[in-house]
Amino acid sequence: MRIPLSSPDLSEADIAAVSEVLRTTQLSLGPKLGEFERALGTYLGAREVVAVSSGTSALHLSLRALQVQEGDEVIVPSFAFIAVANAVRYLNAIPVFVDVQSRTLNLDPEKIESAISLRTKAIIVVHTFGVPAEIDRIREIATRRRLFLVEDSCEALGAEYRGKRTGAIGDVGVFGFYPNKQITTGEGGAFVTQNSEIAARVRSLRNHGRTGAENWLQHEEIGYNYRVSEMNCALGLSQLARLDSILKRRTEVAEAYHRHLQGQDGLEPPELEIACGKISWFVYVVRLTPEFSSEDRDWILAEMERRGIGCGRYFAPLHLQPAYRGTPHRCMDLTVTESIARRTLALPFFNTITPEQIAEVCATLQELTQKRRR
């Protein structure tokens, strides 16, 4: 692609940080792991951070540490990345798909209560595209109904709700650092909590159920290899040191897109601000107006890509994915999810995108949108 959908922002300092680790003899479970965990915890205001191999593994460990078991139900949005539901199924638990708000695309607090059953164990709230969810309202429901609250902040590092950083508000939170995220560790993620006991169990599960380095071949329970390397952590540390400037740049890119697309026929750009919160821009997703179909959106996406402009279909509803045909799950009314998902289109979004590239993306999108309307 001439203009890719995403591209990591790697500096010479990032490269030097990784190279420095490669000159040592400790490439796993070394000092960079602890440094990265402490730095992330300080930034988030979280007592405990456990760095792991991905956001998906962080979700899996979260549910395992919270004692989610076979047959339990976990409330999740259907408008999300598939890892949210997959982590539930890893434990043979049942995802219950609940609708989202049309404005924020986050789990709708008004729809949660009716989805709760005697088997419900937890709620996973996703801060979709870096837009903070109404976490206080959802936490009140979780507390009153004695449910665990898991924050999926994989797309939202740096987002805030009422002055608190997302991911560190619920019982546990998770982050992902894939190359398209605000900061990257190549592959990697993090588990976050204020509960030291839960964190200790996650650390053990991350490392095959071990409880200490002194007994390397002693395993207290069945765990996983969800470790993250020293190289990943060194890169994360270097990127985290310039997170504020990264977030500022991503906001500038979103604002530039908004100037080009605001008021254009056939398009609904995302809002730049949200009440009671601060957006951390993960992607820039526009919606076609309701007269367009999913076939229209897919044609525009294909034409954009044919011209060398990377776009994404963010998100295809999870309950309609082939992987969930015949797989145990439960669906509530998902009218908003199904209506909006067929019209969404993620545009190229990364720190180093140029004004000229943004202008080309917007001009091409406007041309194709008008052509499809005719």
Active-site annotation, residues: 181
Q: How far apart are CA 248 and CA 259, in angstroms?
A: 17
Residue owning tokens 């030097």 = 16
Sequence-ordered alpha helix ranges (H) in the chain: 12-22, 31-44, 55-65, 83-90, 109-112, 135-144, 196-206, 230-240, 243-261, 294-306, 335-341, 355-373
Packed helices 230-240 and 243-261: angle between N→C axes, nearest 10 degrees: 70
- Confirm if 170 and 149 have CB atoms less than 8 A apart: yes
3-state secondary structure of 84: helix
| Contacts with 58 (C-beta within 8 Å, 6 or more apart), sequence order | 50, 52, 154, 174, 175, 176, 189, 190, 191
User: CA nearest 238: which of 2, 26, 32, 25?
Assistant: 32
In this structure, the chain runs to a length of: 374
